[in-house]
Structure 1
Amino acid sequence: MAEQYIEGAQQLQQEENEEMDIFSILRICVAVFLRNWKWFLLSVVACLLFALLFVKKQPRVYSRQSTLLIENNDNNGKYANNSALNALKQLNGVQVTDNLKNEIFILQSRRLMEMVVERMNLDVDYVMMKGLQPVTLFKHNPIKVEFLSPYFEDISFEVELLPSKQLKVSDMQIDDSDVDFKQVVSYGQSFNSPAGNIRISQAEFDPEFVGKIIHVTRIKKEDAITKFNKAVTASEVNKEASLISLTCKDNNKDRAEAILTVLMDLYKRDIVESKNSVAANTAKFVDQRIDLIGSELNDVENKLAKFKQNNKIVDFTENARTYLQQSALSQQELNKTQAELSVAKYLREYVVKNASNTNLIPDLNLGDNGAMQGQIGKYNDAVIQYTRLSANSSNSSSVIQDYEKSLVAMRSAIKVSLDNYVNSLQLQLKKIQSVDNRFQSAMQGIPQKEIQALDITRQQTIKETLYTYLLNKREEVALQLAINEANIRIVEYPYGLPTPISPKTGIILFVAFLLGLAIPAMILWAKIQMDTNVRSRRDVEEVMTAPILGDIPEWVDDNNEQKLLTKDDNGKAISEAFRVLRYNLNFVLKDKGVIMMTSSTPSQGKSFISRNLSVILGVAGKKTILVDADIRKNTLSNVVRSHGTGLTGFLNGNTDNVDDIIVKDLSENLDFIPAGIRPPNPSELLMSDNLDKLVSELRKRYDYIVIDTTPAISVADAGIVNRVADVTLYVIRVGIEDRRFLKQLELLYKSGKYHNLNIVVNGAHSGGEGGSYGYGYGYGYGYGYGYGYGYGNDENKKDGNLFKSVIGKFSQIRRHNVRRR
C-alpha cells in the first residue's frame, strides 16, 4: 500500500513538473549568464576587438551605378525586335530571344572589358597603407609605372618616395617568389630588373606622399579582365522599359566611375562600328567598281578619239543626226537598262563569290526594284547582329546556329531574286535592242564609218552613265558613315554613396558580439555534455523506476568535522532533508525495521547519510542503533572515534554478549556498534549465523537498526548483509555517480536482489533551480510522497552547479512533448 502511495505521489509530481515551459530554461540560462558574466564579458570584448581589427585591415569596397536606355530606330523608348528577322527565325524553327538580354550579355562580355583594361591599364594596381587599412590609388596617384618589356608573370614590388625626389624600389616578387632586388632611381628613368625594363614617371606631385611606400602589383591581362569583369554587372531595370543598369564595385570609387564611363563609351563605339560596317563594305565595293569603270571609260574615249583621228571625222552627217533624234528615246532606255543589268550582274557575282555569314552585301540602287533593296537591307541587319553575338558566344551556341541557318536562307533568297531580276533585265534589253535594230535597218544608207563612230559613242555614253552613278553612290555612303550614331542614351552617369558598401562594420560587430556570447556558452555546454556523472535528481528519474525517498543537499558546515547533525542545525536545509527522508521511511517500514545503506562506489556519502539518518530517527523518539558493517574500512568507527571489540568480535565468537559491543548514547536515543578489528576474512564473517543472531537480538531492543555496509559493486559484503535487511537505501551522489551505471542499477532493482531497494539522492542542489524540487522557504513541508518538498535555500551557500540543471530542464520538456504526442 505504501509503495502504491509513493508511486502515486511520483506521478503527481511528474505531472506538475511537465507544466514547466521554455521560460524556466531561459531563467536558468540567465542565471548561468549572471554567474559567469565575467567570462562572457571577456569573450565579447575580445571578439569585438578582433572584429574591429579585422574591419580596419579590410580594403574598402565602393559601388557606382549608371543607367542606359536602349533605343530602337523609331526612338519611342521601347526596345523592339526586328520584325522581319523574327519572322524569318520563326519560319526556320528558331525561338525569338529578347534583344535587351543580348545587349546585357555584350556589356558584360570579356571583349569589351579587355578594351577597358587596355585603355585604363587596369592590370597595374597601386596600393598604399593608411594605418592598418590598404587604400587603392587611382585619381590621386603620384606615380605611373610602365613595364617596357613583355611579361607573362605576376609581379609586385614596393616604391618608396624619397625626399630627394627619387624612388626606392624594393621587395620585388615574381609569381609570389621573393627576388633580391633593390635600387634607387629617378622619375622617368628606365631601369632593368628581374621583371624586365621598367620606367616610373611622376603623375602628380603631392608632399603628402613623400616618405610613403606604394605597393605596385601587375597581374596577367587575362586575370585583370576576369577580375574586373566580375566587378561589373548589368541588369534590366524593369521588364516594361528598355533600361539597363550598370554597377561596378571597386576598392577605389574614382576608378569605379572611370570604368563605367569608359565601358559605356566603348559600347557606343562598338555599336557605331557595327552599323558602319555595311556602309564601309559598300564604299569599298563602289571604289573598286569606280576604278574598273573609269579604266573602261578611258579606253572607250581613247578608241573614239583614235577612230575620229584615223578617219578624219569631225561631225556626223545630217542623216546620222536625224537617226540620233529618232532613236533618242530608244538609246536612253537602252543605256538605263544596260546600267541596271551591269549593277545586277556585279551584285550577283559578289553574292556568289562572297558567300559567308560575316560578309555584308553592298547597298546599291537597283532602280525601281524596292523589294530587292529591302531584302538586302534586312540581310545586312542580320549579319551585323550575328557578328556581334558570335564575338561573345561559341559556335556551338543554339542562338548562333539559328542565326547561321537564317543567314543561309536569306542569302539563297537574295541570289534567286537577283537571278530573276537579271533575267527580267535581259528580256527588257532584248526588246529595246529589237527596237534599236529597226532603227539600224533604216540607216543602211549611212556610211559604215559613221555607224562605227556611233557604236563607239554609244559605249562611251554607257560607261559615263555608270561612272556617274557610282560617284553619286560613293557620296551617299560617305554621308551615311558621317551621320551614323549609337542607338543608346545615357540616362544616369556613374553615381553612388561616398561611404563603402564593404566591409559592413555593423554586421561584423554584431556577429562578433554574438560569437562572444556563443563561445563561453558552447564551452559551458560542452562541459555539461562531457560530464557523465549524475547531475540532478532528474537524471535518476529518467532511468530508474525505484522510489526516491529523499534528496540530501551538500554539507556546507566546514566547522563540523564529523558532519553529524546537532541541535544547532535545526531549520537548515540539510536537517529538513533528513526529516523528509525519515518521514518517507515511515511508509516503507511502518515505524520499525532494519535499514541497510549501500552505494555503487566509495565517496557516495552512504556513511554520512546513515549516521545522520540515525540521529534524526533518534531525535524523533525512536530507539535507533547504528551498525558499522563496513569491516574493511571502518569508516563510521573512524568518524565517531569509537573502537573496541565491535561487530567483528561478535561475529568471530570472541564474545556472545551483545552489550559488550554496543556503544551507548552516541546521540539522543542513538547507540552505536563499531566495526571492530579488521579481519582477514570479512566476507566469511558476515556470512556466519552470528550476524543473524545479532540482528534478531537488536530487533527486540530497537525500533530502527541502521547498517552501514560496503559499496555494492566493489565487494560482496553488501549483498551478504542484505539478507537481514528490511529496506535497502541505495545512495547516489550528484557529481560522483556515473549516469551510465543507472541502467545496471535499474536491472538490479527489477531483479529483487536487494530487499525493498529505494534511492536516496545525495549532494542535491538546494533552491528551486537545482536537482531538488524545493521552493526555498527555509523550512520543511513533508508530504510523504517520496519527494523532498521542503528544505529551502541555504543563504550561505553558492550554487556552483546551477548551469548543470539546464539539461534536466530540456529533458523534462522533451518528455512532456513526447507524452503529448
Structure 2
Amino acid sequence: MQTNKSTVNKDEQGINLVDLLLYLASKWKWFLLSVLICGGIAWYRYASAPLIFFRSATVIIKDPSNKTSTAGLDRYDNFINKVNVANEILQFRSKKLMREVVSRVHADVSYSKKDGLRTDELYTQSPVTVSFPDATPEQQLAFTVTPKDEQTVVLSDFAGQEREEEYTAGLNDTLSLKNGRIVVTPTNFYGKNWYKVPIRVQKRSLEAMVAYYQGSMGIRQEEEEASILTLSLKDLSAARAEDMLNMLITVYNEEAIKDKNQIAVNTANFINERLIIIGEELGDVESDLESFKRDNQVVDISSSASMYMSETQKYGADAMELETQLRLAEYIKDYLTDPRKETDLIPANTGISDMNIESQITLYNTIKLKRDRLIDDSSDSNPVVEELNNSLRAMKQSIIRAVDNMVVSINVKRNDAQHRERRAQSRVASIPAKERQMLSIERQQKIKESLYLFLLNRREENALSQAMADNNARVIDGAEGSDAPISPSRNRILLLGVLVGIALPGIAFLTVLFMDTRVRGRKDIEKAVSVPFLGEIPLDKEAAKRNKGKKETLAVHEQGDDIVSEAFRILRTNMTFMAKKGKAMQVITFTSFNPGAGKTFISHNLALSLVYARKRVILVDLDIRKGTLSRHFGKHVNGVTNYLSDPTVRADDIIRHMEHFDIIPSGTVAPNPAELLMDDRLDELMDELRTRYDYIIADNVPVGLVADAAIANRIADLTIFVVRAGRLDRRQLPDIEQLYENKQLKNMALVLNGVAPHRRGYGYGYGYGYGNGYGYGKKKK
C-alpha cells in the first residue's frame, strides 16, 4: 500500500520516454500491419511511377566584357549587344520561348507503352508517329494505336468516349473522325516486334505542356557576377530532355538575333519612311509659303497694311454720308405723310442730294403760295382754287414716291459702302494672323530641314549597328546527363513508406493517449489524490471473453499464479496496513462514483481470497435498491431489508451458506431504503456478525447518487472506493480527494479496477511480474 500525500504536493511529472516506448511497443501488431500496408503502397507507387531523367546544358551569356572588341566600333557594340544576365534568365523561362520549343520538338504529343506496372515514354523510338492536321493547339486527344501488320494499325480506347470504338486504318492514310483527321505514319522502328503492342498516344494542350516544362526546368547562375548559366530539365524521356534543352538554346539565340535585327530593320524602315515623309513635308511647307503669298497677294506685309487702312477710311466716310442722306429722306417722308401738316409748305433746301425732288418741292411751294393768295381774294369754291388743290395733291404724291425711291437707292448704296468698309477692316485685322501664319510656315520649313538632316545621319549609324548584331548565348556544354533515372528512388520511397507506416499508428495512439481524459492507470490517480492506494485489479480479457453473457465473477484461484489472483493477494495484504491501532478491521464496505465500477466483482473475489487465507468471511449486499451482488447467488426471499424492517427476523434467518463463504442477500426491495439503513438493527446485525466472522464485506451503492452509501458507512472499519479504469474521468479525481479530506467515508482507500495489462504498475508498461511463468507458484501448463 502507498499513500500519496507527498506525491500530490510535488510538481507533477509527465510521462517519460520509456513509458511512451513501452506503451507503443504494446501496439506492435498495429505497427506491423501499418508498415506492411504502407510499405506495399510505397512499393506499388515505385513500381508504377514513370521514370524521370535529368539533363543539363551550360551556356555563357555574351556581353562586351567577354567579347573581342573591334577597333573604333566599341561604343556601338556596347549599346547593341550589352545584356543583363537576370533578364536573360527570365527570357529563358518565358512562355513565348517555351511555346516555340514545344512546337518544334512536338513535345505536346507523347507515345508510351506499358511495361509491367510502369508506363515508359518512347519519344523517337516509337514505331509510329501521329499527326493531327485539323487539331488546334489547345485540343486534347488520347487513344491507343496497335500495329496489326505491315500496312494497318488499330486505333482504340479513345478518351472521353462512352462507347468503345475501334478503327482500322492504313499507314499514311488519313482517318477522319468526329474529333478531326488523324494520320498514322510508320517510323524506322516499325516492325514485327511491335505487332499487337498497344502504344498510347496522347496529344496534350500546348499551353499545358508549356507550363509543365516551365515547372520542370531549372536555371542556375554559377556565380553572382558570372554570366555562365546552367540549364537543367527533368522529363520522362532522356532524349526529349536533350532535344528540349538544345532547341531552347537555339530558339533563344534566334530570338535574340531576330530581336536585334528587327530593331535595326525597324529603325531603318522607320528612318526611310520618315525621310520620305519629311521630304514631302518640307516640299509642302515651301509650296505652302508660295501659295500663301500668291493667294493673299502678299509680298510685303507692311505695305499691304497701309493700303487696307486707307480703303477702310474711305468706305467709312461714304457710308456715313449715305446714312445722313437716308435720315433726311426719312424726315421729309414723315413730314409729307403727317396729316397735321397737310396744309403746310414743304421744307426746301434740306440738303437732299436728289435735285429733282428739290425742284418738285420748290414748284409745290410756289403753287401752294399762289393758291393761298387766291383763297384770300376769293373762296375755296373758286374753280381756279379747286384746280390748284388738285394739282397740289398730285404733286405731293409724286414727291412722296420720289422720296421713297430715293430711300431705297440710298439704302443700297449705304449697304454697299458698309460692306466695302467691313471688308477693308477685315483685311486690316487679318494682317497679324497672316503675318503669324507666314512666320509659322517659315518656322516649319526650318524644322523640317533640320529633322531631314538628322535622319540622314541616324540612317548611317543604324546601318552600322545592324551589321554588328550577334548571338546572346554560346554553348559551353551541350545537353547531357546520366542514363540512369533520377526518379523514382526505390530506397527512398520504400523507406518513406515504412516511416509513414510507423508514424501513422504512432501519431494515432499518441493522440488518443494525450487526448484521453479517463483514468487509465495508477499513475493518473497518484498524481491527483492523496487517498491511500491499496492496489489495482488487472483486466483479464481472456476470462472476460469466456464469461461473456454469464454471471460468473470468480477470478481468484487458491493456487493460481495468474495476475488477477496475485492482485487480490496484494489487495488483501495492503488492507492490513489500514487497520487502526487498538481496533480490529472487520467490516469492509465497497463504494464508487458510478455503477459498473466493479464493486461486486472485487468484493466477491476479495472474499474468496480471504477464504483461501483461512478466514471466515461473509458477504453482505447493502445495495438494497438493486441487489446486484445477490443476483449472482440465485434468488433469495429474505435478506437485509427483511431483517431491518422486521424485529422478529434473526440473523440466522437471512444468512445463506455458500460453498466458500456465507452471504446475506439484499432481501425484498423496500420502498424506504434510506430509512431502513438508518435503523439501529443494522448496527446490531454488524455487531453480531463481528462475533461470528473475521471479515464482513459489504457491497454498498455508489456514493453521491443516493444517500444509502453515506448512511451505511457508519458500520465500516475500512471503505474501499473502487475506480474503474477507462470509465472514470480524471476531472472527477478532485471530488474523490474532497471526500477523503472531508472524511465523509470512514478510513477511505482506493482500488483501481480493470487496468489493462500493459498499464499495470507505477508507470506505463511496468507490471507486477506475477504473470505466467514468472512469480510465485508453478507455471501453468
TM-score range, shorter chain: 0.5 to 0.7
| Percent identity over paired residues | 31
Task: Return the alpha-carbon distance in structure 1 between the equivalents of residues 274 and 557 of structure 2.
Answer: 130
Residue 689 of structure 1 is matched in structure 2 by 680
Look up the match of 1:132: 117
Are 1:596 and 1:728, in contact at CA under 8 Å, matched by a contact in 2?
A: yes
Summarize the Cα distance change of 1:629–1:587 in structure 2 as closer, same or farther, 3 Å threshold: same
Residue by residue, what CA displacement relative to the aligned partner does 1:360-391 show, whole Å, maximum 9, x if unpaired?
A: 94335xxxxxxxxxxx79xx87xxxxxxxxxx
Structure 2 equivalent of residue 162 of structure 1: 148
**1:762 counterpart SS class:** strand
What is the aligned partner in structure 2 of residue 183 from structure 1?
167
Contact 1:64/1:247 (8 A) holds in 2: yes
Residue aligning to 1:449: none
- Per-residue deviation, 1:491: 1.0
In structure 2, C-alpha distance between the alignment counterparts of 1:259 and 1:566, rounded to whole Å: 82
Q: Which residue of 1 aligns with 2:106?
A: 121
- 585 and 47 in structure 1: CA distance in 2 versus 1, 3 angstrom threshold: same
TM-score for both structures, normalised by structure 2? 0.64
The 3-state SS of whatever aligns with 1:255 is helix
| Match status 1:244 vs 2:233 | no
Kindly indicate whether the alpha-carbon contact (under 8 Å) linking 2:24 and 2:509 is maintained by their aligned counterparts in 1.
no
Q: For each residue in 1:428-473, what CA deviation from the matched residue of structure 2 results, as whole angstroms up to 9, or x when unmatched?
A: xxxxxxxxxxxxxxxxxxxxxxxxxxxxxxxxxxxxxxxxxxxxxx
CA distance in 1, matches of 2:229, 2:146: 43
Contact (CA 8 Å) 1:764, 1:771: kept in 2 or not?
no
Who is 1:488 aligned against?
473
- In the alignment, is residue 732 of structure 1 matched against residue 717 of structure 2? no
2-structure distance, mates of 1:672, 1:210? 90
What code does the residue aligned with 2:723 have? I
Rounded to whole Å, the distance in 2 between the matches of 1:289 and 1:602 is: 104
Q: CA deviation at 1:728?
A: 2.3
What is the CA-CA distance between 1:760 and the residue it aligns to? Answer: 1.9
**Partner Cα distance (1:531, 1:279) in 2:** 78
Aligned to 1:71: 62
Deviation of 1:263 (Å):
1.6
Q: CA deviation at 1:66?
A: 0.4
In structure 1, C-alpha distance between the alignment counterparts of 2:217 and 2:658, rounded to whole Å? 95
Structure 1 residue ranges without an equivalent (≥5): 89-96, 292-344, 354-359, 365-375, 382-476, 780-790, 799-821
Contact 1:550 1:580 (C-alpha < 8 Å) held by counterparts: no
Q: Aligned pair in 2 of structure 1 residues 644, 218: CA closer, same or farther (>3 Å)?
A: closer
- Of 607, 617, 625 in structure 1, the residue corresponding to residue 600 of structure 2 is 607
What's the counterpart of residue 446 of structure 1?
Answer: none
RMSD over aligned Cα atoms? 4.8
Q: Match for 1:218: what amino acid?
A: K
Match of 1:193 in 2: 177
Name 2:24's counterpart in structure 1. 29
In the alignment, which of 344, 363, 376 is matched to residue 460 of structure 2? 363
Instruction: Summarize the Cα distance change of 1:550–1:85 in structure 2 as closer, same or farther, 3 Å threshold.
Output: farther
- In 2: Cα distance, 1:258 partner to 1:617 partner: 90
How far apart are the structure 1 equivalents of 2:684 and 2:582?
21
Whether 1:762 and 2:753 are equivalent positions in the alignment is: yes
Query: Alignment partner for residue 53 of structure 1, among 44, 51, 68?
Result: 44
Q: Give the match's secondary structure for 1:513.
A: helix
Paired with 1:687 and 1:141, the residues of 2 have a C-alpha distance of 98
Aligned partners of 2:535, 2:745: CA distance in 1, in Å? Answer: 19
Question: Separation in 1 of the partners of 2:575 and 2:733?
Answer: 24
C-alpha spacing 1:194/1:126, structure 2 compared with 1 (3 Å): same
Amino acid at match of 2:576: Y
**2:92 is equivalent to residue 101 of structure 1:** no
- Aligned counterpart for 2:490 among listed residues 505, 512, 517: 505
* 2: CA distance, partners of 1:522 / 1:730: 35
Moved more, 47-56 or 643-652: 643-652
| Letter of the structure 2 residue corresponding to residue 183 of structure 1 | Y
Cα separation, 2, equivalents of 1:16 and 1:587? 31
Separation of aligned partners in 2, 1:140 and 1:665 = 91
In the aligned structure 2, how far is the partner of 1:698 from the partner of 1:285? 125
User: Residue 171 in 1 paired to residue 157 in 2?
Assistant: yes
* Alignment correspondent of 2:252: 267
Structure 2 counterpart of 1:299:
none
Q: Distance in 2 between matches of 1:793 and 1:62?
A: 67
Shift of 1:268: 2.6
8 Å CA contact 1:626–1:671 kept in 2: the answer is yes
Give the CA deviation at 1:695.
Answer: 3.3
**Residue 720 in structure 1 maps to residue 706 in structure 2:** no
Check the 8 A contact 2:554/2:604 in 1, yes or no. no
Distance, in Å, in 1 between the alignment partners of 2:654 and 2:267 is 133
Cα 1:15/1:84, change in 2 over 3 Å: farther
How has the CA–CA distance of structure 1 residues 597 and 247 changed in structure 2, closer, same or farther, with 3 Å as cutoff? same
**Paired residues of 1:160 and 1:168 also in contact (CA < 8 A):** yes
Question: Is 1:349 aligned to residue 349 of structure 2?
Answer: no
Give the Å deviation of 1:182: 4.0
SS in structure 2 of the partner of residue 42 of structure 1 = helix
Counterpart-to-counterpart distance in 1, 2:599 and 2:534 = 14
492 and 632 in structure 1: CA distance in 2 versus 1, 3 angstrom threshold: same
Does the C-alpha gap of structure 1 residues 20 and 189 become closer, same or farther in structure 2, counting only changes over 3 Å?
closer
Alignment CA distance shift 1:590-1:206 (3 Å):
farther
Per the alignment, residue 574 of structure 2 pairs with 581
Distance verdict in 2 for CA 1:588–1:500, change over 3 Å = farther
Decide whether aligned partners of structure 1 residues 676 and 278 sit closer, same or farther in structure 2, where only a CA change above 3 A counts: closer
3-state SS of paired residue (1:168): strand
Alignment check: 8 A CA contact 1:732 1:759 kept: yes
C-alpha separation in 2, matches of 1:118 and 1:654: 109
Which letter does structure 1 place at the counterpart of 2:684?
K
Are the counterparts in 1 of residues 8 and 527 from structure 2 also a CA contact under 8 Å? Answer: no
TM-fit CA distance, 1:495:
0.8
Q: Which runs of 5+ in 2 are unaligned?
A: 277-447
**Aligned partners of 1:278 and 1:362 also within 8 Å:** no
Secondary structure in structure 1 of the residue aligned to 2:86? helix
Deviates more, 1:626-635 or 1:258-267: 626-635
224-233 vs 502-511, which moves further: 224-233
